[in-house]
Structure 1
Amino acid sequence: MKRSIILSILCFSFLTGCSQHSEEKPVGYFSLIRSEFTGKTAYETTDFVEDYWRVVGNTGFNKTIYLIADSLQAAGFILEENAKTEDRLTYRIEKRVMDNQTWEPISASLQIAGEDTPLLLSETNRNMTYLNSVSTPKEGIKAEVVWIKSIDDLNTISVKGKVVFAKLKARQITKTAIKNGAIGIITYDNPAYLQPKKNKTSIQFRSLPSQDNGNFWGIALSYEAKEKLKTQLQKGKTEVLVNIQTKRYPSEELTIIANIKGSVLPDERLVYSAHIQEPGANDNATGVGAQLEMAKTAAKLFAEGKIEFDRTMTFLWGDEIISTRRYIEEDSKRAKGIKWGISLDMVGENTAVTGGTFLIEKMPDPSAIWTRGKDKHSEWGGEVLSIDEMKPHYLNDFILSTFKKQGKHANWVVETNPFEGGSDHTPFLKANIPGLLLWHFTDQFYHTDNDRIDKVSQETLKNVGTAALVSGLELVNAKFDFALNQISNLERRAIERLEEEHQLSLKAIKTGKKIEDEIIILKAWEDWYKKAISTVNDVVPKTDDTVSDAIKKAHLNITTKSNEFTKSLRETK
């Protein structure tokens, strides 16, 4: 780990807050973590979790919670209710009553009447049954299929007692279909990034609204099944045999949270978050597994006296976005101490199979307003943000730099994408807490029943988990050397970005873009990086002259470079 040279005044005590610095000995976090973090626990956990179709409160979700609890306990974490004041490794399971019943699929089949073989079977397509579908009678049902080619057709064609087939999103047709007496829907809606003509059997999971007392069901089709049903419908009247068996029952919502308590600033913390629900392996059994191995590795090295924690490191597993948002919102004092949030979601992909590059989704920066050059959105896509929505902070470039080190070490590709949202990093950002996402995309098996363990790489889990834990250790133990390193790193990256944007603007002006509009882009990056550099004060006393002077110097250098490029643009003809 590279360390900046701090002024040779060695009498500073971090606890007392005086203005001079004690010598901080470098800790080789990468060498420590690489020797321990193999990805084996992460992979084996993923293998266990992905066997289940997981939704809050159901069998697979709850078994995952208790697997994590058993693993944490074996690693030295103590259940909070049994812990003593001096115990620093603790965990708890939070239990809440659910407003609606939980749900899980048991079996399903879909067959065209008169055909010898089923069109779909849940044994091979476990995503075929819509989440929250009810069961049919045990013997199944036989009903006519009505092909709806537009939403308006639902009001002009009789669907009472029939099954609606549509190549539309369920939310567009479900309410009207139920109102008009349909007994169920069969839909096809696989996006192009899933390469459906290649992955003909893939089904992307779909859901209906919770219906504790309802009687509606849905079946999602693969490309192959959709084509066969279409062919039959084009011949004339078509009936299908449908048998769906599901379970709906009262349950409780579980969240598990583990803490390694800081010894110096215990109320300040980094929070890792990985959601359990969703039925896939990469999404998100890999996040669950990677985070568990991170917690176990940190506990082992702490017990051996090889690492320390100045601030608290927290690991949270639960329901996507909901559990993280609750953790932030339900305790204002705790929320005030959350300094960083990192979401692990789809972090174990075998990219040679899935095609999904590892990505760090950045906190909102100007690339989420002007996405150009090397920046590009994933196929998930993102809305264009405004200047007011920017979140300047050193976390973006710090995490990227750390992950790039692991990438270089392991010959592993690390890229970024502008902010898009949709995972556990968003509650942090909405609460004005620095937060970002570790993930993969585009994944041709995303949310499909082909997202299984054969698409997961232990090596990728090792790389992500190693870099994520090293990043976390740097953050929870951050002091003056960390702050100075980030100032240096951010200044360098700011100037690189300004140079890139200058070149892009010169090309844009040649194609007719307005000079003033291009200057706005350049100045937005200048402003973002200068504000990001100032955020390093969150790990040191704001009165420290060394850090303050370094910030001022970096600001001046960035402004000078920005003015140079602005002048160049204005002189463009």
Structure 2
Amino acid sequence: MEMGRINSVKKIIIRQGIVPALFCLSFLTACSQQTEEQPVDYFEIVRPEFTGQLAYETTDFVEDYWRVVGNTGFNKTIHLIADSLQAAGYVLEANAKQSDRFTYRIEKRAMTHHTWEPISAALQIVGTKNPLLLSETNRNMTYLNSVSTPKNGLKAEVVWIKSVDELESVSVKDKVLFAEMNVRKLYKLAVEKGAVGILTYDNPAYLQPEKNTTSIQFRSLPSQDEGNFWGIALSYEAKEKLIAKLYKGTTEVLVNIQTKRYPSEELTIVADIKGSKFPDERLVYSAHIQEPGANDNATGVGTQLEMATTAAKLFAENKTDFKRTMTFLWGDEIISTRRYIQENTTRAKGIKWGISLDMVGENTAVTGGTFLIEKMPDPSAIWTRGKDKHSEWGGAVLKLKDMKPHYLNDFIISTFKQQGKYANWVVETNPFEGGSDHTPFLQANIPGLLLWHFTDQFYHTDNDRIDKVSQETMKNVGTAALVSGLELVNASDSFALAQIENIKKRAKTRLEDEAELSLSALKKGSTINEEKQIITAWEEWYLAALTSINDIYTHGNSNIKTAISKAKKEIQFISKELKASLQ
């Protein structure tokens, strides 16, 4: 009976002239004839050029290094990017002429702490023949910011604790602490009580540790320029062997860690393609360099680099222009992006969109998971149901005041789905969760979203190497991301009209889906008021997303204002009818 009501609403929608996107093609054509330009198929010009080869080769170079701000691998990556940009036609900003539209700069800043890099490490249970761990095969075993032991190593007894409270009653002075928990809970007290170092194990279940027994997820200590503490993270296999020995009695380990801590400077590299018509308006792509893995985030670095070089090639061949500025930023995750937004308020006012590339090169047949677009906060981050689901990363339940309605969500999803259909490539979405370079954009009230993969069973582990990377995936992500960017920086009236139709179509589908989910929820004890609230939240989100289209068009085109107004009325009508059908 209830499903019949929903279907009746669909029939009413058609009778009332509330039409799907296909019907609007003639309308779009008529309107676009009044604009300056006809829409361009950017897929046609990008697909032949974007092969993923530079992205893959860059990833292969970058992932060789354990990267943290200021260290050898991080800085070599910066200079590799600079060399590639220069070869593609970008001019060092300090040497650029006013007429140079393709420029780059390397920003240098003093660091308040020393940088750090691992050299070697070995862990052995005293009395056994073979090492428990070696950095040659487990390069994540040494905690970031660990100090070096004496060159011949350090021998000490292991004290095993099951809870933080045990530290109050157990003597650990000059001993090694072992615990199956996050070191942040133990570090300060362990140092105060005189422990020389710590062994920990806390690989999450989504890493499938009993299958990937040698994987170690990298861990870090607080920066300690004058400190003398070290930490080693254990694999599942190493943890099991250590526990078996501890059950037999007193256990000593021989630890040999060699690291480098030294003063350095923080480098960030920024490349700009200056807009020809609206140079102060810009799209910013961001990919962070730090973190030691291949997929996380050498693939983001490499894919974004090929996007920047492909963009230069397309311009040089007169295949496209850039009406607005397109910016590519590589640096320290979240920190560099936040600073780029905050340090220049005039520039920040012109940032219209932000897109983060993080873990974009997965060979999903090996790593698991799928490619995801993490949406800007929408009601699926409040009511996560139906086809929406969080990744294993997880996300807090948001509130209505946290919503960020904008056409960018549905535009990016639609563009990537188009590439997915073309390449037989799976594209999914997840509700907002945070934790990468898209968050500074959103915190500054700039539309921003994340391109990524999850779950990856090798995430943050020393098994995240080049054999887990797919050139084809980077080709797909880079193609769709660059096409999206070209659409945005060259957006005009025809683009605005297309987004109106896209939002209207997706709003209609979403509202109908939510109404059906509400019918099921009512049968399980939900209330009419609660279900109406959900549908209303989606209605208001899409109405506001339509309003956001006003930041695109440039001619005061009355057809666009009329189309937005008409689309809003249609969405309101659909919502009203669907809520009535719940009675």
- TM-score (structure 2 length as normaliser): 0.95
Shift of 1:24: 1.4
Alignment equivalent of 2:349, drawn from 333, 336, 354: 336
Offset at 1:22?
A: 3.0
Q: Does 1:306 align with 2:319?
A: yes
Q: Deviations over 1:497-553 (max 9, x none)?
A: 000000000000001111100110000000000100110110114843111111111
Structure 1 gaps, min length 5: 12-20
Which of 56, 65, 78 is residue 65 of structure 1 equivalent to? Answer: 78
Question: Contact 2:32–2:493 at 8 Å: present in 1 too?
Answer: no
Q: What is the Cα-based RMSD across aligned positions, in Å?
A: 1.2
Match in the other structure for 2:194 = 181
Question: What is the deviation of 1:9?
Answer: 7.8
SS at match of 1:302: helix
User: Residue type of the partner of 2:442?
Assistant: L
Which one of the candidate residues 387, 412, 431 is aligned to 2:425?
412
Candidates 416, 423, 437, aligned match of 2:450: 437
Identity %: 74
Counterpart contact for 1:270–1:313, Cα < 8 Å: yes
Partner Cα separation in structure 1 for residue 453 and residue 32 of structure 2? 44
Is the contact made by 1:208 and 1:218 (CA closer than 8 Å) also made in structure 2?
A: yes
Match of 1:352 among 349, 357, 365: 365
Alpha carbons 1:4, 1:481 under 8 Å: kept: no
**Compared with structure 1, are the counterparts of its residues 10 and 247 closer, same or farther at alpha carbon in structure 2 (3 Å cutoff)?**
closer
What's the secondary structure of 2:500's corresponding residue?
helix
Say whether the 8 Å CA contact 2:493–2:555 is kept in structure 1. no
Return 5+ residue gaps in structure 2 as ranges.
1-21
Q: Cα offset for 1:28?
A: 2.1
- Superposition pairs of residues 81-120 of structure 1, within 5 angstroms: 81-120=94-133
Alignment partner of 1:30 is 2:43: yes
What amino acid sits opposite 1:94 in the alignment?
E
Amino acid at match of 2:238: A
In the alignment, the residues of structure 2 paired with residue 124 and residue 287 of structure 1 have an alpha-carbon distance, to the nearest angstrom, of 24
Task: Tell me what 2:331 maps to.
Answer: 318
Q: Distance in 1 between matches of 2:306 and 2:32?
A: 37
Alignment equivalent of 2:309, drawn from 291, 296, 303: 296
Tell me the amino acid that sits aligned with residue 96 of structure 1: R
Partner Cα distance (1:384, 1:46) in 2:
35
Match of 2:221 among 199, 208, 221: 208
Q: 1:163 aligns with which of 163, 170, 176?
A: 176
- Specify the SS of the correspondent of 1:279: coil
Q: Does 1:256 align with 2:269?
A: yes
- The residue that corresponds to 2:16 in the other structure is none
Q: Are the equivalent residues in 2 in contact too, given 1:270–1:339 (CA < 8 A)?
A: yes
Which of 24, 30, 39 pairs up with 2:52?
A: 39
Between 1:214-223 and 1:541-550, the stretch displaced more is 541-550
2:389 corresponds to: 376
Contact residue 4 and residue 485 of structure 1 kept, 8 A: no
**Residue pair 2:35, 2:494 contacting (<8 A) in 1 also:** no
Give the deviation of 1:44 after TM superposition. Answer: 0.2
CA contact (8 A) 1:168 1:188 kept: yes
The answer (yes or no) to whether the contact 2:32–2:494 under 8 Å persists in 1 is no
Aligned residues: 560
Q: Which residue of 2 aligns with 1:17?
A: none
Q: Supply the AA of the counterpart residue of 1:112.
A: I
User: Residue 139 of structure 1 corresponds to which residue in structure 2?
Assistant: 152
Per the TM alignment, residue 164 of structure 1 is displaced from its structure 2 partner at its CA by: 0.4
Secondary structure class of the residue paired with 1:115: coil
3-state SS of paired residue (2:311): helix
TM-superposed CA distance for 1:25, in Å, is: 2.4
- Residues 147 and 229, structure 2, Cα contact 8 Å, conserved in 1: yes
Residues 293-352 of structure 1, C-alpha deviation per residue, up to 9 Å, x if partnerless?
Answer: 000000001011111000000000000000000000000000000000000000000000
* Aligned equivalent of 1:493: 506
Q: Supply the AA of the counterpart residue of 2:210.
A: K
1:532 aligns with 2:545: yes
Matched, 1:458 2:471: yes
Whether 2:528 is the aligned partner of 1:519: answer no
> How much does 1:27 deviate?
1.7
Question: Residue 387 in 1 paired to residue 379 in 2?
Answer: no
Alpha-carbon distance between aligned partners in 1 of 2:564 and 2:578, rounded to the nearest angstrom: 21
Which of 190, 210, 218 matches 2:231? 218
Mapped partners of 2:555, 2:433: distance in 1? 32
Distance in 1, Cα, partners of 2:349 & 2:537: 28
Whichever residue aligns with residue 82 of structure 1, its letter is N
Q: Supply the distance in 1 between the matched residues of 2:112 and 2:486 (Cα, whole angstroms).
A: 38
Query: How does the TM-score come out when normalised to structure 1?
Result: 0.97
Query: Alignment partner for residue 283 of structure 1, among 289, 296, 299?
Result: 296
SS in 1 for 2:47: helix
Matched with 1:14 is: none
Runs of 4 or more off by more than 6 Å in structure 1? Answer: none
CA distance 1:542–1:504, shift in 2 (3 Å): farther
2:575 match: 562
8 Å Cα contact 1:542/1:548 also seen in 2: no
Q: Residues 191-238 of structure 1, C-alpha deviation per residue, up to 9 Å, x if partnerless? A: 000000000000000000000000000000000000000000011100
Q: Secondary structure at the match of 1:35?
A: coil
In 1, Cα distance between equivalents of 2:140 and 2:32? 62
Query: What are the Cα deviations for residues 363-410 of structure 1, in whole angstroms up to 9, with x where unaligned?
Result: 000000000000000000000000000000000000000000000000
Distance in structure 2 (CA, Å) of the matches to 1:5 and 1:109 = 69
Structure 1 residues 4 and 73: alpha-carbon distance in aligned structure 2, compared to 1, 3 A threshold: farther
CA 1:390–1:457 in structure 2 vs 1: closer, same or farther (change >3 Å)? Answer: same
Equivalent residue in structure 1 for 2:377, among 364, 368, 374: 364
Rounded Cα–Cα distance in structure 2 between residues aligned with 1:4 and 1:311: 28
What is the rounded CA distance, in whole Å, between the counterparts of 1:483 and 1:204 in structure 2? Answer: 45
Deviation of 1:269 after TM superposition, in Å, equals 0.3
Q: Is the 8 A contact 2:325 2:489 kept in 1?
A: yes
Distance 1:198 1:115 in 2: 25
- State yes or no: 1:56 paired with 2:69: yes
Aligned to 1:396: 409
- In terms of mean alpha carbon deviation, does 433-442 or 551-560 score higher? 551-560
Task: After TM superposition, give the deviation of residue 26 of structure 1 in Å.
Answer: 2.9
Q: Which residue identity does 2:222 align to in structure 1? A: P
